[in-house]
């Protein structure tokens, strides 16, 4: 945490170092320069609001005042508080994402995922299982085994299915390793990527995944013709229900098929109780447009083999028996329409870091990244001999010096050892850990340079930085003070009381409702000597409780038209119908021609008091913080 705060402080400091010969200072506020680029950025951003009424020079005066308030906030130390740093850091992290990835790399992987989303593959595979972080000896044994099986598979007239049954660790071995026809994007990424690269009939090189090593045989690959809209009739009978249930469902679907051939309406049947598919039964017999791969391939194959308006013969899947009617075939969704879903899918596997890794590779070239392989091999050997990735490893590798360098940075063996203490990496897979760490370091450095490399980013962060400070200092000096300084507000009202008037009188007090004259007499007696502002509270406590309500009351500041009772009894206008439960009504209060205390007009008085505090504060700021404006430089701003 300490390191991250120091980083933020250094990033904030960059804001004051952006001026150059090509970016002259147009004004200084309390000795702090404002470069032309910053002022122009704010001016152009607000020009739609200000340009109709203000010249650049007039806007400069407003901007100078804004900077005075920022200077006051900095002098108060607001920019060093944890609350400020946390909010500023959170906002910055939201913006850096787009700058810390390679858009070309990300676009490529999204385009690849899009192609996978509509490409069918018919494939078989053989798996030799080995854990992701297995010991090197076990990994090597698994690799040698898969290579041995591959040699057998490549022999003339080799039976891949027989080899799968003999050697594969996957559940598909009982089917000779056959996976059936599926959309490529449904497989784990390394598997799917290979399926998209193989030629039909080709056997892959060993492919590593979290499950082990795979050999993949691609039988066929083809693209889906589009989305499909279908009506569906279904008799449920999953494989595990047994042959008797499956046969019963078969007979039922055949009877339905005979009725359809005899002229029965397909939609009528699909929405009837004989259909076991609940969705179409409740939605007009149909599904909306469905993407390829959403239904079992037997279903989709039947759909693609029909013409619009035709229905299939009964066919079975692992779920039961079906008849499908093709309503229409629609174009595939565009990559733009699917981009959000594709990104969400990519974010759940190794592709999530594609954009960042792609940028890291480019930055390594830009920043002249060098890697000391000898030092890295010595590190790996030391780690293997030590046997653990703990805090003591740093001492074991301290003499190895630097493993890599780039720009003005070095990555030492000690740095890497400390990174490995997070427990996420295995001692036998340090190359993978190093790649992640090196990329992290170079991207962290790039993060620290964003304000310099991307002026628009720097200006946006400066704007947010100053905006946060402005809000907090204004809240302290004006907004919050105006609402919490009761004595100050009261004094302001008394001094300016003549400025507050009403167009019509108000009634200030309590409306009291009683059930009968006897109760009214008791209430009036109790209220007789009470201050007006205490009547409501005392009477409620005296005559009402949780279980009994002897009186009803309303209190407030009423103008004509607000309340019919007040209109009738105080302003002598209108009428009202008494509540049968509380028919005896009177007012306890007084009529006012103008506000007599600040609470009578608190909203307007508070607003005016805020402006009063603002004016006083501005006067102090102008006296305290000198402003110099370069008039010649200002004239050049368009």
Q: For residue 52, what pLDDT band results from cuts at 50, 70 and 90?
A: low
Can you state the angle between helices 373-386 and 430-448, rounded to 10 degrees? 120
SS (H, E, C) 30-88: CCEEEEHHHHHHHHHHCHHHHCCCCCHHHHHHHHHHHHHHHHHHHHCCHHHCHHHHHHH
3-class state of residue 225 by DSSP? coil
Identify any residues that bridge with 125 across adjacent strands, giving them in sequence order: 216
What span, in angstroms and rounded, lies between the C-alpha atoms of 628 and 519?
75
Tokens of 252: 């039922």
The predicted-structure confidence for 200-229, as pLDDT tens digits, reads as follows: 999 999 999 999 999 999 999 999 999 999
Whether the pLDDT of residue 11 is over 50: the answer is no
Q: Which of 184, 201, 202 is nearest to 193 (CA)?
A: 184
pLDDT over 70 (residue 17): no
pTM for this model (two decimals)? 0.72
Predicted confidence at residue 531, as pLDDT, reads 87
- Kindly list the strands in the beta sheet with 32-35, ordered across the sheet, starting from the edge strand earlier in the chain: 32-35, 25-29, 627-629
The proportion of the chain whose per-residue pLDDT surpasses 70, expressed as a percent, equals 96
Q: Residue 48 — pLDDT band, cuts 50, 70, 90?
A: low
pLDDT tens, 416-474? 999 999 878 888 889 999 999 999 999 999 999 999 999 999 999 999 999 999 999 99
Does residue 520 sit in helix, strand or coil? Answer: helix
Cα 434 to Cα 548: distance, rounded to the nearest angstrom: 76
Say whether pLDDT at 3 is over 60: no
Mean pLDDT, the chain, whole residue set: 92
Burial (0-12, 13-18, 19+ Cβ within 10 Å), 297: middle
Indicate whether 128 pLDDT > 90: yes
Structure confidence by residue, pLDDT tens digits, 485-525:
999 999 999 999 999 999 999 999 999 999 999 999 999 99
């Amino acid at each position: 945490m300490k390191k991250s705060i120091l980083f933020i402080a250094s990033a904030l400091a960059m804001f004051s170092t952006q001026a150059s010969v090509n970016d002259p200072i147009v004004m200084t506020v309390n000795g702090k320069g404002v470069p032309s680029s910053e002022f122009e950025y704010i001016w152009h951003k607000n020009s739609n609001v200000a340009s109709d009424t203000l010249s650049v020079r007039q806007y400069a005066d407003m901007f100078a005042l804004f900077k005075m308030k920022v200077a006051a906030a900095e002098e108060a130390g607001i920019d060093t508080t944890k609350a400020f740093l946390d909010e500023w850091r959170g906002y910055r992290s939201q913006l850096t994402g787009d700058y810390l990835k390679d858009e070309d790399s990300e676009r490529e992987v999204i385009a690849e995922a899009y192609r996978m989303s509509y490409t069918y593959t018919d494939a078989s595979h053989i798996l030799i299982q080995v854990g992701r972080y297995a010991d090197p000896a076990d990994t090597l044994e698994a690799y040698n085994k898969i290579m041995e099986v591959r040699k057998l598979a490549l022999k003339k007239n080799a039976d891949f299915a027989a080899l799968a049954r003999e050697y594969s660790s996957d559940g598909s071995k009982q089917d000779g390793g056959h996976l059936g026809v599926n959309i490529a994007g449904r497989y784990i990424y390394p598997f799917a990527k290979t399926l998209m690269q193989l030629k039909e009939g080709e056997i892959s090189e060993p492919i590593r995944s979290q499950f082990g090593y795979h050999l993949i045989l691609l039988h066929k690959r083809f693209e889906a013709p589009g989305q499909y809209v279908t009506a569906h009739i279904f008799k449920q009978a999953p494989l595990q229900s047994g042959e008797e249930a499956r046969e019963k469902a078969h007979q039922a679907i055949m009877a339905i098929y005979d009725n359809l051939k005899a002229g029965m309406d397909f939609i009528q049947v699909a929405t009837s109780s004989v259909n076991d598919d609940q969705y179409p039964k409740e939605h007009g017999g149909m599904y909306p447009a469905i993407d390829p791969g959403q239904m079992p391939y037997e279903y989709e194959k039947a759909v693609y083999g029909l013409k619009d308006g035709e229905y299939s013969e009964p066919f079975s899947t692992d779920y039961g028996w079906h008849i499908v009617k093709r309503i229409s075939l629609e174009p595939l969704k565009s990559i733009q329409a699917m981009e959000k879903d594709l990104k969400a899918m990519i974010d759940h596997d190794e592709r999530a870091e594609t954009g960042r890794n792609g940028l890291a590779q480019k930055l390594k070239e830009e920043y002249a990244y060098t890697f000391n392989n000898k030092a890295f091999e010595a590190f790996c050997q030391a780690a293997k001999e030590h046997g653990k990735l703990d805090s003591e490893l740093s001492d074991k590798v301290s003499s190895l010096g630097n493993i890599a360098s780039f720009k003005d940075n070095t990555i030492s063996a000690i740095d890497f050892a400390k990174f490995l203490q997070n427990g996420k990496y295995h001692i036998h897979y340090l190359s993978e850990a190093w790649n992640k760490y090196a990329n992290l370091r170079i991207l962290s450095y790039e993060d620290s340079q964003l304000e310099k490399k991307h002026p628009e980013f720097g200006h946006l962060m400066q704007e947010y930085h100053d905006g946060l400070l402005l809000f907090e200092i204004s809240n302290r000096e004006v907004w919050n003070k105006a609402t919490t300084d009761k004595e100050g507000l009261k004094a302001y009202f008394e001094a300016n009381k003549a400025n507050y008037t009403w167009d019509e009188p108000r009634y200030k007090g309590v409306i009291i409702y009683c059930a009968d004259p006897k109760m009214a007499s008791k209430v009036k007696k109790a209220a007789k000597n009470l201050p007006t502002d205490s009547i409501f509270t005392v009477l409620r406590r005296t005559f009402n409780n949780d279980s009994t309500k002897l009186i009803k009351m309303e209190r407030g500041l009423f103008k004509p038209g607000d309340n019919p009772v007040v209109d009738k009894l105080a302003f002598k206008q209108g009428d009202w119908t008494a509540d049968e439960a509380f028919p005896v009504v009177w007012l306890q209060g007084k009529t006012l021609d103008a506000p007599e205390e600040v609470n009578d007009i608190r909203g307007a008085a508070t607003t005016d008091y805020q402006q009063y505090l603002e004016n006083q504060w501005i006067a102090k700021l102008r006296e305290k913080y000198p402003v110099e404006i370069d008039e010649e430089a200002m004239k050049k701003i368009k």
